[in-house]
Structure 1
Amino acid sequence: MMKKRLSILLVVALMAVLVTACGGNQEGKVEKDSKNKQEVAKEVSEQDKYGGVFQGRVKADPPTLDPAMATDTTSSRVIRNIFDGLVQFDKDLNVIPAIAKSWNISEDSLVWTFNLRKGVKFHNGREVKADDFVYTFTRILNSKTKSPRTWLFEGVKGAKEFMEGKADKVTGLKVLDDYTFQVTLAEPFTPFLSVLAMENAYVVPREEVEKYGEEFAQYPVGAGPFKFVEWKHDDKVVLEKNEDYYVEGRPYLDKVVYRIIPEGSSAFAEYEQGNVYQNVDDDLPAGQITRIMDPNGDFAVDFKSIPRLGTFYIGFNTQKEPFNNKKVRQAINYAVNRKVLAAVVMNGVVKPANGILPPTMPGYNPDLEGYEYNLEKAKKLLAEAGYKDGLPGQFELAYNTDKKNQRIVEAIQSNLKQIGVNVRLINMDWGTYIKKVDNGETQMYRLAWIADYPDPDNFLYVLFHSKNAGPGGNGAFYKNSEVDQMLDKARSMKPGKDRIALYQKIEKQIVEDAPWIPVYYYTAPILVKPFVNNYVFTAQSALPLTNVWIDPNHR
């Protein structure tokens, strides 16, 4: 037992040194290679930046390529390159103009008026007009679409009446002229502009949606930097440059190929061989981490570690016995050794989670206690819940197929066995898995949330408001009327310390109710080939590949 504890401490110490080295001043090889890269970039003319194929990787077959239907990071990464919206995020997650060149907000924060650029075209050649945004947003709210993202626009004036079939249009969505689009909200909503930067709000052409119907997800047509070419399921998605793109003409790249490689070790091997140019899916092989993070090693220039707006968690279906008992959920939380999971299973590249909101999110509370690893407390709470000998029977912990996910759920399975909770692990492909979670067909399940926009509303309202039970994001089917009321209030408050204080109160209550086991906060270890320029991975996700270019000698 002593040897095991000592080995864990040594691993933690080693990884801490490596992480510090990675984030600190790097000398030798990394400094030299960085200078070489900057010198090459200076020598390449603007014209020579054009051309080449970006070989990307995603870890699962995208469930959809329809912006109205996307709820996952895999789909979103591809969608962001095909479609475009009124506004977008920059590298620092500020909201900047996109198809809307400017906008005005009324004094009462209810009326938002957007002035569109002229000459922006869909991939079918038709110009984007204000009416296309009315159609796009109305389509999301239309019950026939069955979009899981209706919550994004439920605050628009008239949305409720339209969704209930009491009106044939949404009164808060108006065309003032071909290039002026206006949205009126029923009540103030502080992060509305950030919502419009989400890929779900990206504009779609009515004629193409009506042409393909539900198959539009398979044949997407947008106004983004790249056109859709081909989707071979479980193999690859292929895009090509949009010659008519409105942002300074076409993107630099001729083509983008997203290869679908589910397994991290296989993806890393492909990266080493130069067959893919990025590996950004948080599943670098455990046995390679020390080598990858060596500041003077082969990957010194390739590697970066970026804190993310994300939390990895195990959810309980709070409507199913015995997980409808708060003390059972709390007991299981105390039984999970997050520190060892982060240090050993995740090789020290992530931070153990005390709560819901990650450290990079406004409103993060560093003083939130959360659940320590304490088996005695866990057993005591189980006994108080009526299970002094542990939970009878066996319980399902579902997860999507992935080696990293498997390592984590196996460790949690071992933790829970110590308090008499027997867990059976179920793994499946992502598309099937997410439907299982959305339909409430789980007992326990593994998921992670990477913020759609940098505001605590996007975590706490989306994932815990009872309105969003199931496909809306609340896979735990968590219901607390007091929390609902506080969430409704917070999203309409003016920015400032009072709003942040309310979100911290909400988070504290949710953590006490324990619908989740927050496991760790994301830090994205990413690899990008040195000959790939302008690839930007934010605290949220990869930006579109619009400005990415490949050194001519590596095409």
Structure 2
Amino acid sequence: MRGEGALDGSPMTEWEISGSSESVEEGLLRIGLSEPVSTMDIHKTSSDYMIPLNIYERLFEVWVDEDGVAWLVDGLAEDYSVENGGQTYRFTLRDDAYFSDGSKVKASDVAFSFARMLTLPGSLQTDFADIIYGADEVMGTPGKIPEGIRVLDDRHLEITLSEPFEGYLYELASPSCSVLSESFVTRAGDDYGSGVEQTMGSGPYAVTEYSEQKIRLERNPYYHCLEGESLSVRKVEIIVLPPALMAQAFLEGGLDILDTGLINPDAEEIIIHSDRWKDRIVKRSRVDIKYVMMNLDSPGLEDIRLRRAIQMAVNRQDLLDTLYGGEGSLVDGIFPKGLFGFSEENQGWLKYDLEEAKRLIREVPDVDKIHLELAANSQSNTRTLTALEMIRQDLEEAGLDVTIVSYDEKTLMYLRRNGSLMMYSGEWTADYDDPDNFIYTFFGSSEKTHSRSSHYDDPTVFSRISKARGIQNRKARLAEYARLEKILVQDNAVWIPLYSTGHQFVLGDRTASFSPFWAGWSSMYFRDVVLKENNETKSAQGSSR
């Protein structure tokens, strides 16, 4: 199909999609993305996870059962042991794992991959390996292996951490810890992940076409199936479409799964409340938090009274109702509902209170001279930009002078990492099921708070966050995280926690079932999609007309 499309049924004539549901090749899954995939190199992205999830493998994987419960299962690791008080891990790799060129996955590939997270200049995945003993000594130095990684032979590997970390196995199941081929990556050099000939993994699928508008994958002929795994999807076609065209493509039978988070809110409302699709909706709560970060080094924001006033002045429930139809829940801290370690005790304290916000603002010296800037990504979707405008209006009503300043995505990220943004809105969804993935990522050190444009600086809190990783008693560990969450958000008002949202997908006629990623990502495992046989599809279409 090609051209502009709309929900009124007018044809699309601009974008090529492989046929209607009646003519499409059996075993082909067609899905849409809203933005091009910038790279397939997992170490150079912190958001483009759709391809890495499916072309790479990890030592462990996360599966979701029929009740929506996430389970850690063996991936490349066939066996493991934990020694030295939870500080040393020994892994045995399965003997039937091969990259898509037929070469065997070795322990040296795992060592190389984990070291590259640290040593690749500009790596966006250092957080997932900086706990390995000796990580600091090799950071940003290509070719080095930290002292804590030892290859024992082709199938055995030992990793020693700088301190015990109870959540380490769950971290190893995140896309960031995908295993790459050392020899292939070395040959590809800086071009790794930039095209079909420069990308390879050992996962269920291999990339056969890669461009800004379309990506195609096919089954990796050398892939072993995990226990209980059955792959219905043989080929995948990913098309990059703007929101209006994506909705239309789905309605015309051109997509097999519609991610409603990628289309316009008005179109989402029409589709999910349609009798045609009401029984084809799959929901998953996001394990995420949307927030507004405040730069504590900015004029005015160093005053905790102003930060607390801002927390009270934002009508979070109104945002959730207006932008998401109330699908979600307010979050009053750092850890979202659904995350291991979520603390009910830290919920319910933050209330919308415009009058109290105004009172606190009046106490701030020279508040009439304070000008706040709320940074926006000019490429964000309508919902995100609307949220920023609603927040600006709330703060203005409280008596503050606030301007939204737009930047292109590259500039925005540069300013954020350099600690230069005054305020900005963000979202963090769990990579792995542990509080560490949230609190350490944002507030684990002065370097981390600087790169998030927070500049919160309390060495005692940083030390406690680091030590919490190694607390072996689970109850005591979670209690410490709850205390730290309270210190940061309630006592110090480091950010404005907003809410977590739901995530809805709609299944097309060719799709029998689909289990979304456990944390509610848009990125999905294609193994979790079951397609109907062609005769089943025709029967379903006939009964729906």
Please report the TM-score for the alignment, with normalisation by the length of structure 2.
0.84
Residues 343-382 of structure 1: matches in 2 within 5 Å? 343-368=321-346, 369-382=348-361
Query: Helix, strand or coil for the counterpart of 1:90?
Result: strand
User: What's 1:213 paired with?
Assistant: 189
Q: Which moved more, 1:352-361 or 1:543-552?
A: 543-552
Given candidates 115, 118, 121, the residue that maps to 1:138 is 115
Amino acid of the structure 2 residue aligned with 1:415: D
Query: Helix, strand or coil for the counterpart of 2:427?
Result: strand
1:546 paired to 2:520: no
Runs of at least 5 residues in structure 2 that lack an aligned partner in the other structure = 1-24, 539-545
- Cα distance in 1 for partners of 2:44, 2:450 equals 10
Q: Is the 8 A contact 1:315 1:476 kept in 2?
A: yes
Q: Is the 8 A contact 1:314 1:517 kept in 2?
A: yes
RMSD value over aligned CA atoms?
A: 2.8
Query: Helix, strand or coil for the counterpart of 1:301?
Result: helix
Query: Helix, strand or coil for the counterpart of 1:217?
Result: coil
Query: Helix, strand or coil for the counterpart of 1:128?
Result: coil
User: What's 2:463 paired with?
Assistant: 485
User: What's 1:258 paired with?
Assistant: 238
User: What's 1:163 paired with?
Assistant: 139
1:309 paired to 2:287: yes
Please report the TM-score for the alignment, with normalisation by the length of structure 1.
0.83
Amino acid of the structure 1 residue aligned with 2:205: F
Given candidates 127, 133, 136, the residue that maps to 1:151 is 127
1:277 paired to 2:250: no
Q: Is the 8 A contact 2:449 2:457 kept in 1?
A: no
1:87 paired to 2:60: yes
- Cα distance in 1 for partners of 2:141, 2:263 equals 49
1:56 paired to 2:31: yes
Q: Is the 8 A contact 2:132 2:162 kept in 1?
A: yes
- Could you give the per-residue CA deviations for residues 147-189 of structure 1, whole angstroms, max 9, x where no partner exists? 1222222222222333387995322211111111111223211
Change (3 A) 1:250 1:344: closer
Change (3 A) 1:470 1:78: farther
User: What's 2:266 paired with?
Assistant: 287
Change (3 A) 1:156 1:348: same
User: What's 2:397 paired with?
Assistant: 418
- Cα distance in 2 for partners of 1:433, 1:454 equals 28
Using the TM superposition, give the Cα deviation of residue 514 of structure 1 relative to its aligned residue in structure 2, in angstroms.
2.4
User: What's 1:332 paired with?
Assistant: 310
Residues 512-531 of structure 1: matches in 2 within 5 Å? 512=490, 513-531=492-510
Q: Is the 8 A contact 1:533 1:550 kept in 2?
A: yes
Change (3 A) 1:539 1:477: farther
Using the TM superposition, give the Cα deviation of residue 256 of structure 1 relative to its aligned residue in structure 2, in angstroms.
1.4
Q: Is the 8 A contact 1:379 1:388 kept in 2?
A: no
- Could you give the per-residue CA deviations for residues 41-65 of structure 1, whole angstroms, max 9, x where no partner exists? xxxxxxxxx9432111223223432
Amino acid of the structure 2 residue aligned with 1:395: E
Percent of residue pairs identical? 24
Change (3 A) 1:528 1:423: farther
Change (3 A) 1:269 1:479: farther
- Cα distance in 1 for partners of 2:305, 2:262 equals 33
Change (3 A) 1:508 1:103: same
Using the TM superposition, give the Cα deviation of residue 291 of structure 1 relative to its aligned residue in structure 2, in angstroms.
4.3
1:318 paired to 2:296: yes
- Could you give the per-residue CA deviations for residues 406-442 of structure 1, whole angstroms, max 9, x where no partner exists? 2211211211111233333345565554444333342
Query: Helix, strand or coil for the counterpart of 2:496?
Result: strand
Q: Which moved more, 1:336-345 or 1:166-175?
A: 166-175
Change (3 A) 1:444 1:166: closer
Residues 62-211 of structure 1: matches in 2 within 5 Å? 62-72=37-47, 75-91=48-64, 92-106=69-83, 108-142=85-119, 144-163=120-139, 168-211=144-187
Change (3 A) 1:477 1:261: farther
Query: Helix, strand or coil for the counterpart of 1:154?
Result: coil
Change (3 A) 1:426 1:131: same
Runs of at least 5 residues in structure 1 that lack an aligned partner in the other structure = 1-49
Q: Which moved more, 1:107-116 or 1:461-470?
A: 461-470
Q: Is the 8 A contact 2:247 2:267 kept in 1?
A: no
- Cα distance in 2 for partners of 1:179, 1:348 equals 50
- Cα distance in 2 for partners of 1:145, 1:304 equals 40
Amino acid of the structure 2 residue aligned with 1:365: S
Using the TM superposition, give the Cα deviation of residue 462 of structure 1 relative to its aligned residue in structure 2, in angstroms.
0.8
Using the TM superposition, give the Cα deviation of residue 253 of structure 1 relative to its aligned residue in structure 2, in angstroms.
2.5
Amino acid of the structure 1 residue aligned with 2:77: A
Amino acid of the structure 1 residue aligned with 2:170: S
Given candidates 219, 234, 238, the residue that maps to 2:216 is 238
Using the TM superposition, give the Cα deviation of residue 196 of structure 1 relative to its aligned residue in structure 2, in angstroms.
0.7
1:223 paired to 2:192: no
Query: Helix, strand or coil for the counterpart of 2:286?
Result: strand
- Cα distance in 2 for partners of 1:485, 1:71 equals 26
Amino acid of the structure 1 residue aligned with 2:50: R
User: What's 1:26 paired with?
Assistant: none
Change (3 A) 1:166 1:403: closer
- Could you give the per-residue CA deviations for residues 341-370 of structure 1, whole angstroms, max 9, x where no partner exists? 112232111222222211111222223244
- Cα distance in 2 for partners of 1:286, 1:166 equals 45
Query: Helix, strand or coil for the counterpart of 2:37?
Result: coil
User: What's 2:4 paired with?
Assistant: none
- Cα distance in 1 for partners of 2:481, 2:260 equals 29
- Cα distance in 1 for partners of 2:248, 2:143 equals 55
- Could you give the per-residue CA deviations for residues 498-522 of structure 1, whole angstroms, max 9, x where no partner exists? 1111111111111132232222112
Q: Is the 8 A contact 1:463 1:475 kept in 2?
A: no
Query: Helix, strand or coil for the counterpart of 2:165?
Result: coil
Query: Helix, strand or coil for the counterpart of 1:508?
Result: helix
Amino acid of the structure 1 residue aligned with 2:88: V
Using the TM superposition, give the Cα deviation of residue 477 of structure 1 relative to its aligned residue in structure 2, in angstroms.
3.7
